[in-house]
Structures are given as structure tokens and as C-alpha cells.
Structure 1
Amino acid sequence: MAKLHLTGKELRAIGYPEGPVISVAMNVMEKQYKHRRKEEALTALKNILAEPAMFIEDETLSPIAKLLLPKEKTAGDEIALLNNGVHFNVFGAEYIEESALQQMHAAAKLPVSIAGALMPDAHSGYGLPIGGVLATENSVIPYGVGVDIGCRMCLSVFDINPKELTNREAYFTRELNEATLFGAGKEFSKTSYDEVLDSPVFNEIPFVKGLQSKAEKQLGSSGSGNHFVEFGIVEIPHKDEALGLEAGVYLGLLSHSGSRGLGANIANHFTKMAKEKRKLPKEAVNLSWFDLNEEEGIQYWMAMNLAGDYASANHHVIHTKIAKQLGRQPLAMVENHHNFAWKERYEGKEVIVHRKGATPAGKDVLGIIPGSMTAPGFIVKGLGEAAAINSASHGAGRRMSRTAAIKSITQNALKEELQKQGVKLIGGGLDEAPFAYKNIYDVMNAQQNLVQTVGLFYPKIVKMDGAPHKGKNKLQPEKGDTYVEGE
């Protein structure tokens, strides 16, 4: 019989935490169980993980058990993670990288976790993976929400023949260029107004008060990374009562952006506070939380909701400007957050549901799941699937990092793909090329039990930032994702 060989991946798959325990467990089992079947070794390791105290006196297995026992906590010590995390369902596991799964395993072991889910577009981020959904008990995790608080989609559907996008391409291109600003830190010289700027939260939290002027100057801007504003073709195959549109083909305006510098500064400020208040092991260091009964938790909740309202106002300013230029009011508007936390009911109790890069998909709730600059976006209606905590993906999800995309994708390849799909790109870099993303059809097929498709949006004139990617920065962007500088 061949000698036993275990891998760290196999141990992590059965719930072993990152750290010395993995190498110790591999070493012990490969010596003491070297002539046994792998299944026996893994079963033994599962038993130790489930009840480490039962193996403390075991002459062979005690080195593993000792490392799994939670340390007694004294003031200032790390908070120990649970040995066995709460269950979380994974949708489209074949499309999800292991690092995102490991981040979700760490989140599931937080003492405040109730339930979780991982969406098919998931990839690793800071703290909770992008595409991660986590329900907690009376607590909120700033990095469970993300840096770009309230990042969202907004679609306006107009009763205009979409052939106009070809016939009057220069006109629609001009409207996109004039309606908003792209780029990290960009501000308007002539500002717009929305009642969100008068929110009392600005006066109730001193730190947030210091962000009010910047928020005013950035209102109606779109940021950088994968943020966009684009015209395209909306196809509605049949009338759906939730959407309220007759079957047909329409002109659509779709935007994706969030709370700009306001949200990014709130996220980083409160994450720092949370980390100082609750120290966690290395694998969960970015998942520090606030209790919603404590002052910091109350302040973060207020600031997060302000940033969410501000993100919504950003989109409405853009859509109102363009609707005015088009001389039409939209027949319908569909919008949703995907970096936020909500108070919801789960299995009969109130929980805080974090959706970091995940779309709310409660029963009959409408949302938008975009593909890429050339792939279609899906107008969806939630099916209220409890196994996904009423959630769905927020897009196709990246399959390669920004750096990898820039190194491996050529300008010619991008140009050919744009021409093939009949898309005009204004700005936009190789880091956002369609090849950097997963296949949106694969992602949608993996979540057929979570949402129903009620319409499609095909991009035709796409406006993005297009600034060169400069890597990490002082505001800690999500790994390989949306944010550059203030996003």
C-alpha cells in the first residue's frame, strides 16, 4: 500500500483553519497513519476538529488537538474563531477560486455568524470575499460591506428606437461624456444638488462631517475601476408584472458606480476602529465587527446608510441629466445595491445580511446583473431562495486580476472583440477587457434557482475611466476588483 500523503488544500476543505495546525496535522498523520487509507486519516482529522478536547490525552493525536483548542481570552487578546463554522451554500463552485472559499470559511467561523452563501461570480477580496453573503447576529462588519459602500446598478428604459444608437452615435457619445465624470478623486467645478447632502448624519458624526464638501463636489460622478455608464439595447421577451414593461425592444441607459470618496473614507475609518476594538486571527483580520448596540456600531450603521443614499443619488443625478437631454422620462427604472448590509429576517429571527458584491434577490425583487463591456446584462427578478439568503451574483465576476489582464490581453484583441460585438468604448483599459471576466452565461446558469431573467441589456456605447492601472493605493482597493484610490 502506498504511503499516506495529505495536502493543505485537503485539510482546509474539511474545515481546518490556516496556521500551524495544518502542517502539524499533515506531519502527524503521515507518520502515524502512513499505511492507512486517506479516508481513515481524514475521518480522524474531522473528529479531532469537531471535539479537540476529547483528544488532548491521546498520545498520537494530542499535538493536533492542542492547536485546535480555543485560547482562553484575556483583555486585549485575539478573539478565537469557532472550530466549526456555520454552514454556507456555494453556487457555481466550479467557477470559484479556492482563496475565495477559504475567506468564506474564515467568515463562517466568526462568533457572530449565523449563515452564509457564496455566489457563482465570487473571487477573493479583503475580509469577506467579493460575491460573499454573510448573516450575523446584531453586528456589522465594515469589510463585510466593502470599500465602495452602496455600489449599485441603475437602469433607465426609454421608449426610443435603439437603432438611434447607430444612426446618431456621435450624439449619444457626447451625452455620456457630458453627463458624468470618471476617475479616482475627480470632482465637479459646478456641483449638482440632492437632498442627501442635507442629511443630519453629516452633523451627527464629526468624521463624516469632514467629508461633506468632497461629497458635494463628487455628486453625480462615476469613479474608476469597473464603473461605467452606457447606452444599450433592452430586450423584454414578455411582460412581467414586477417590471411592468410590454414585450419589445427599447433603448436603455445603464450605470454602475457607488459612493465615491465618501464611502471609501467611511469604510477605512470604521474598519480601523473595528480592528482596534476586536482583534482577530490572521486569516480573519479584516472581518472585525461592531455590535449594533455599541456607539461605534450605531455610528457606522448611520454612516453606511448615508453612503448608500449618496450612491443612489449619484445615479439619479446622471440619469436625470441624460433623460432631460433625451427629452424623455424613462418608462421604467430598475436599481439595486450590491455592497451593503440590511436588517432582514432569517429562519424567524432578525439578522444583519452583508452582501459584498451580491445582489438582493428576495421574492419578486428586481435587480441588474451585468456581464462585461461586450457581454449582456440580465434584468432579473428574485426567487427568494433561503439557501442563498435571498441573494444572487452581482455580475460575471473576475477570472483574472487586473495585473494579469494587463499582462496577458493585447489592445488588438480588445479592439477585435469590441468590433465583433458592435460596441463603441470610450475609455476603459485592458484590465476591464471582456476576457478578464467569467462567462456571464455560466454564472447565470449556476443561479437559476436564485433569480428569473425578465429582460436583457446589450451594451453598445460604453463609457469608463480608462486611466492606467497603478496597483494598490492608500485606500486599499479590493483585490483585483472595483476600486482605485477613492472607489
Structure 2
Amino acid sequence: MPYEQLDLSTPKPVLSWANHTLGQDETKMAKNVASLPFVFKHVALMPDVHLGKGALVGSVVATKAAIVPAAVGVDIGCGMAAIKTPFMADQLEGKLQQIRQDIEALIPVGFHENEAADTQVLHWQGWQDFKHLHTGVQHLEAKATKQMGSLGGGNHFIEVCVDEQDQVWLMLHSGSRHIGNVLAQRHIETAKELAKLAGEKLPDPDLAHFVQGTPEFEAYWRDLQWAQNYARVNREVMMARSKRVLAKHLANGQPFTPCLSVNCHHNYAEREVHFGEEVYVTRKGAVRAQQDDYGIIPGSMGAKSYIVKGKGKADSYCSCSHGAGRLMSRNKAKLNFTLEDLIQQTQGVECRKDEGVLDEIPGAYKPIDQVMANQSDLVEVVATLKQLVCVKG
């Protein structure tokens, strides 16, 4: 689907791949961002766009010489990892429940953390730089160490899936855990204080920003990169543990080599070159989709997910959606659906079926097929996955 330019009177245009009219609050949020003086060229909205904080989830914002920490968000580096295994679906027969239980035994979920860090965690080079992070997180090193290799809650998950050829995949979704959240909050607070001192009149306090070349900018950028790396390694640790579970059940405990591995952020910022200029690209709920980039676009529990390759569409800042996108808030989902609805909508999936995950019911999300149709110019589908096991916090 080609994008449409929204009919908004803003200094910079807003291009949308959503193929639907934004609500009043969403429109206001898009206008606020597109009115910032340092926004470059235009704002791009992905097909799964919905309300966020400061900036819309599912938005790509390129900026010149400035960055908005709240636009990146508090789960810095949140993203996806997936591997294609050499195993086939028939090898899973009769083993799904035990596989789920073994993954849950190895990987803490929700607010839980590891009792002790394993070798893979302790050998991460990033720990050497912890002392240089914001002073407000220095007391959290032990917690950050124990949380690496843990899933968290909300919409984070670990799944065993099969593709159209019945080949087995592992896929998971998680970010930078508590340490990333606190780092983000500390810097957001600083940005707001600076805006207040400068008497800036922002359309939204959450759009307070840092200017390139200032100590505050450099401190945020350093901590941002550290948290993004933490999130990536966190996914690697969980994937390694999930691989061990599959190897135990499908390969007599023998290690295996994945046929394909993907690990991508969808809440982050990087320096990139677009339209011939170096800019800061903030993807808030969006995946980089440069030419031949592999990406992951998950559906909800019980819906299809996609492994994709980017087409390098310039107008999207070489980006695509990060999932189906929420159709309704968590509270609204709990009011609109019952436990029976959850059981029915997750038929055939070995997963939790209790009221604790009712807000993650498939019906609370946009139809993934429509989301994919709306971005056919942004990505090509490499594999279509259907989950058989889903572990949630």
C-alpha cells in the first residue's frame, strides 16, 4: 500500500501507512511531533500505529541535532529475536506442554529474576561500562545482572512456532528490563527540567529533548546505546536457554546450529543517513527495514507472525511495523473479553489461559493480515509462522 500524507497543518508532513483515520488523541500526538523544529523532512507512521507517550507507538521520527528521550520510550531496546531450527513439526508431537514448562523453569518471567547470573551473562563486556552510566542507576548493577536472561511481563513472550513448511522456529520478545526503564526515566526527568529552566513552550511535556553537543545529550546517548546493547544480549541469553530446551526434547540434548537467526530492536534510536543527510532516527514501535534487512513482525497470541526482509523504502526511513498494534487498551480488553473468549481465541496454542493474561487476548490487537497488507511496499515476507507454544509473564 502506498502511504498517504495526512491532512494536518504542521510544519513537517506526516506520512501514514495505517490506512485508517487517526483518532482525536492520535492526531494530536502526530501533530505535536511534526511541529517540533528539529524534525527532519517528515514523520512516518507505520500500519500498527496507536497511542503512546509523547510520540505514537508505530512512529518513525528523524531529527537533526536533537533527540527526544520519551519518544524512544522507557523499554529501551525492546525488540524481537527468532531462529529457524533444523527440526520439523512432527517432532514436537506430545511434547508441547513439557517444552513450555522447561522454558518457564529456565527463564524467569514477570517480576522474577535469576537467582544467579550464568557464564554468558557474566562475560558480557557491557558490565565494564556500568560505572559510567547515570548516577541514578549505580545501585542497580546487581539487579541488572540477575535480570539479564529474564523475560518480563506485559506483551513480552517466548514462542515455539512452525512455518508453512512445518519447520520449527523459536521466537521471543523482550527489552532492557528494569535497568533500561530507570535509565530512560532519569533522562526524561532531566530533559523536562532543562525545558522548564529554558522556558520552552512544548506542545507536550513528554517532548522535552536534548540538543546535540551538550553534556546531557552525550550522557543520554551513551546510556541509550548501553541499554540497547543490554536488551540485545538479554534476548541472546534467553534464546540460548530456549535452544537448550528444544535440543533436549528434539535432539537428545545435542546442540544444533540455526538455519537463520534474527535479532532486531523496535524501540530505539540510531544515527543513520537518509535523503543524503545524517540524522537521528527514533523508531518507537518500528523495525529497521533497509534493503535485505531481516525483521520480525509478530501477531498476537493465537495469530500469525512474520519473518520479513526490508525493501529499503526511503519515505518510511527504511522502516516497517513492529507487530499488529493494539486495537484497545489493556483495561478495555479486560472489560470487553472473558476467560472463555481467551480460551477460544488461543485454541491449539500451549499457553497460559487465565485472567492474568486476558489483556493480551488476540482480539485486543489489530488483524495482522491487514497490517501486513498495508506495508507490502516496505517488506517482503520470508516466512509465515504459527505459534504452538507461548510463554508469557
1-structure distance, mates of 2:24, 2:380: 28
Q: Give structure 2 stretches of 5+ with no counterpart.
A: 1-5, 248-253
Residue 194 of structure 2 aligns with which residue? 277
Query: Pairwise mapping of residues 51-450 of structure 1 onto structure 2 (< 5 A)?
Result: 84-94=10-20, 96-114=22-40, 115-184=42-111, 186-192=112-118, 193-196=121-124, 198-205=126-133, 206-235=135-164, 248-279=165-196, 280-281=200-201, 283-325=203-245, 326=247, 327=254, 328-419=256-347, 422-426=348-352, 429-450=357-378
Q: Give structure 1 stretches of 5+ with no counterpart.
A: 1-11, 16-83, 236-247, 466-487
Q: How many Å apart are 1:298 and its aligned residue?
A: 0.7
1-structure distance, mates of 2:380, 2:336: 35
CA contact (8 A) 2:126 2:230 kept: no
| Cα offsets for 1:33-62 (capped at 9, x unmatched) | xxxxxxxxxxxxxxxxxxxxxxxxxxxxxx
CA contact (8 A) 1:338 1:356 kept: yes
Secondary structure of the residue aligned to 2:88 is coil
| Cα offsets for 1:462-481 (capped at 9, x unmatched) | 0111xxxxxxxxxxxxxxxx
CA contact (8 A) 1:323 1:329 kept: no
2-structure distance, mates of 1:157, 1:14: 43
* Stretch moving more, 397-406 or 280-289: 280-289
CA contact (8 A) 2:269 2:283 kept: yes
Residue 457 of structure 1 aligns with which residue? 385
Structure 1 counterpart of 2:103, one-letter code: L
Q: How many Å apart are 1:160 and its aligned residue?
A: 0.9
Q: How many Å apart are 1:414 and its aligned residue?
A: 1.1
Count how many residue pairs are aligned between Structure 1 and Structure 2.
371
Q: How many Å apart are 1:329 and its aligned residue?
A: 2.7
| Cα offsets for 1:92-113 (capped at 9, x unmatched) | 2316434223212111111111
2-structure distance, mates of 1:453, 1:285: 39
Q: How many Å apart are 1:167 and its aligned residue?
A: 2.5
1-structure distance, mates of 2:304, 2:294: 17
1-structure distance, mates of 2:58, 2:270: 16
CA contact (8 A) 2:96 2:388 kept: no
| Cα offsets for 1:433-454 (capped at 9, x unmatched) | 0000000011111111111111
Change (3 A) 1:398 1:204: same
Report the TM-score when normalising by structure 2: 0.90
Q: How many Å apart are 1:195 and its aligned residue?
A: 3.7
2-structure distance, mates of 1:168, 1:95: 45
**Bigger radius of gyration:** 1
**Bigger RCO (CA 8 Å, 6+ sep):** 2
Secondary structure of the residue aligned to 2:172 is strand
CA contact (8 A) 1:95 1:120 kept: no
Report percent identity of matched pairs: 34
* Stretch moving more, 330-339 or 161-170: 161-170
Secondary structure of the residue aligned to 1:163 is helix
Residue 3 of structure 2 aligns with which residue? none
CA contact (8 A) 1:381 1:451 kept: yes
Q: How many Å apart are 1:281 and its aligned residue?
A: 4.1
CA contact (8 A) 1:197 1:212 kept: no
Secondary structure of the residue aligned to 2:166 is strand
Q: How many Å apart are 1:292 and its aligned residue?
A: 2.5
2-structure distance, mates of 1:399, 1:135: 26
| Cα offsets for 1:319-358 (capped at 9, x unmatched) | 1122233132322111210000010111111000000001
Secondary structure of the residue aligned to 2:71 is helix
Report the TM-score when normalising by structure 1: 0.73
2-structure distance, mates of 1:276, 1:313: 32
CA contact (8 A) 1:196 1:309 kept: no
